């Protein structure tokens, strides 16, 4: 009898074809870059990718849940900015320099904004892409009107946020006195990944998310509360976005409400789709989202080791996205033929 693979023993399932393909792409790309530039294969590049990707993975988890439910949310970056900026401003006004206070306020605001998305999507039966595109502008615009758009430098940012950004779990001292550090945000991201996995695969609400994404009408007929499911989805995404916002500003040591929003939404969604999440809903894995984000991070952060400008990352990442989509939908058409399901699309 063949022994179980380490992956099967850990996750109680085999890797799906997309996860295997992405794993091969990642290994081959890392090998290619390492051969071209040996400096890449070291702790500096690894720690940089893990530290900068920690917050993006939290956003990817939110995008994954929405995609599984059959929707597309493009408001998560706006929620991240609004929730974290509101919390930071309130901390300054009330002179409460406490990280837990900032996180609590941000997460509460994020959950409230996410619930607004859920209500609008459910009540008006509008496409989630249209609703969240509109609410992203509304949320950011209301923040600009009520709180302003002032940029706060390191001297103004609450010290608890700066200390949070300087939280390292591993430090390597180089001979020249420089340091290579691994951010503690990686621990938070691993915790969020574990929580999201548990919610999706070990709870009733998680099964409801998959059911709604597969067929909303059938889910309703078997007794699933569609509104409660959507409320969980978008509130949870709002909370994740708020957490990422606080992490983002803490790591930068300054707060500028003009950045983040409007720059990363489509890249995050594309990374999750590369990982095998279907735009039509009902399918997606946390590992796939992680692998898709790693591909995005590699093309964004490693081209300098190949002597290429950052603009090449868009070409490479877009090419991988097109290739993965072709594989995904080719496999879907083949599966439909075997099941005698035909589509005109």
CB atoms near residue 23 (< 10 Å)? 15
Range 240-268 average pLDDT? 91
Strand partners, 177: none
Q: Is residue 326 part of a domain?
A: yes
pLDDT value for 318: 77
pLDDT value for 330: 75
Residue closest to 160 by CA, chosen among 96, 239, 245: 96
pLDDT value for 345: 46
pLDDT value for 339: 67
What is the CATH classification number for the domain harbouring 295?
1.10.3470
φ, ψ of residue 87 to 5 degrees: the values are -65, -45
What is the share, in percent, of the chain residues with pLDDT greater than 70? Answer: 92
Q: For helices 185-202 and 204-214, give the axis angle rounded to 10 degrees.
A: 70
Q: pLDDT (tens digit, 9 = 90+) per residue, 64-114? A: 999 999 999 999 999 999 999 999 999 999 999 999 999 999 999 999 999
pLDDT value for 29: 87
pLDDT value for 259: 85
pLDDT value for 296: 87
Give dist(CA 257, CA 144) in Å, integer: 9
Confidence of residue 11 (pLDDT cuts 50, 70, 90): low
Range(s) of the domain holding residue 56: 17-23+39-336
Q: Is residue 289 part of a domain?
A: yes
Q: pLDDT (tens digit, 9 = 90+) per residue, 156-173? A: 999 999 999 999 998 888
Q: pLDDT (tens digit, 9 = 90+) per residue, 289-331? A: 999 999 888 888 777 777 777 677 777 777 777 877 777 777 7
Q: pLDDT (tens digit, 9 = 90+) per residue, 31-70? A: 888 888 877 777 777 888 888 899 999 999 999 999 999 9
Q: Which residues contact 74 (CB under 8 A, 6 or more apart)?
A: 129, 132, 133, 136, 265, 266, 269
Q: Is residue 144 part of a domain?
A: yes
Give dist(CA 53, CA 56) in Å, integer: 5
Q: Is residue 32 part of a domain?
A: no
Q: Is residue 195 part of a domain?
A: yes
- Please state the three-class secondary structure of 14-73 as a single string: CCCHHHHHHHHHHHHHHHHHHHHCHHHCCHHHHHHHHHHHHHHHHHHHHHHHHHHCCCCC
How many folded domains does the chain comprise? Answer: 1
Average pLDDT over the chain, rounded to an integer? 88
Give dist(CA 72, CA 119) in Å, integer: 15
Q: Are strands 168-173 and 179-183 parallel, antiparallel or unpaired?
A: antiparallel
Range 321-343 average pLDDT? 70
Q: Is residue 3 part of a domain?
A: no
User: Higher model confidence: residue 345 or residue 95?
Assistant: 95
pLDDT value for 287: 94
Map residue 241 onto helix, strand or coil.
helix
Range 211-233 average pLDDT? 95
Q: Is residue 33 part of a domain?
A: no
Q: Is residue 299 part of a domain?
A: yes
pLDDT value for 36: 84
Reading the block at residue 190, the tokens are 């691993």
Among 19-33, 133-147, 172-186, 325-339, where is mean pLDDT lowest? Answer: 325-339
Confidence of residue 340 (pLDDT cuts 50, 70, 90): low
pLDDT value for 21: 86
Residue closest to 65 by CA, chosen among 241, 255, 185, 257: 241
């Amino acid at each position: 009898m063949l022994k179980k693979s380490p992956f099967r023993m850990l996750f109680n399932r085999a890797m799906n074809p997309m996860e295997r393909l992405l794993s091969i792409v990642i290994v081959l790309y890392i090998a290619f870059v390492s051969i071209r530039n040996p400096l890449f294969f070291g702790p500096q590049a690894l720690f940089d990718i893990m530290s900068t990707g920690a917050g993006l993975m939290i956003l990817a988890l939110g995008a994954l849940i929405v995609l599984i439910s059959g929707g597309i949310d493009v408001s998560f970056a706006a929620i991240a900015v609004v929730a974290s900026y509101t919390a930071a401003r309130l901390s300054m006004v009330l002179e409460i320099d406490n990280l837990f206070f900032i996180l609590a306020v941000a997460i509460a605001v994020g959950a409230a904004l996410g619930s607004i998305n859920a209500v609008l999507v459910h009540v008006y039966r509008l496409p989630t892409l249209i609703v969240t595109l509109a609410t992203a502008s509304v949320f950011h615009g209301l923040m600009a009107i009520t709180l302003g758009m002032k940029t706060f430098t390191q001297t103004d940012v609450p010290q608890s946020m700066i200390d949070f950004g300087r939280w390292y779990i591993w430090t390597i001292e180089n001979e020249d006195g420089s340091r290579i550090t691994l951010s503690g945000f990686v621990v938070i991201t691993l915790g969020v990944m574990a929580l999201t996995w548990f919610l999706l695969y070990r709870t009733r609400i998680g099964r409801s998310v998959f059911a709604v994404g597969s067929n909303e009408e059938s889910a309703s007929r078997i007794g699933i509360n569609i509104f409660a499911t959507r409320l969980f989805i978008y509130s949870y995404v709002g909370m994740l976005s708020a957490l990422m916002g606080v992490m983002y500003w803490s790591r930068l040591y300054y707060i500028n409400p003009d950045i983040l929003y409007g720059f990363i939404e489509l890249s995050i969604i594309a990374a999750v789709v590369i990982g095998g999440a279907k735009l039509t809903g009902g399918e997606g894995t946390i590992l796939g989202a992680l692998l898709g984000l790693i591909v995005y991070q590699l093309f964004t952060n490693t081209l300098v080791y190949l002597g290429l400008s950052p603009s090449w990352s868009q070409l490479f990442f877009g090419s991988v996205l097109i290739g993965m989509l072709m594989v995904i939908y080719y496999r879907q058409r083949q599966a439909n033929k075997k099941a005698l399901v035909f589509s005109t699309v």
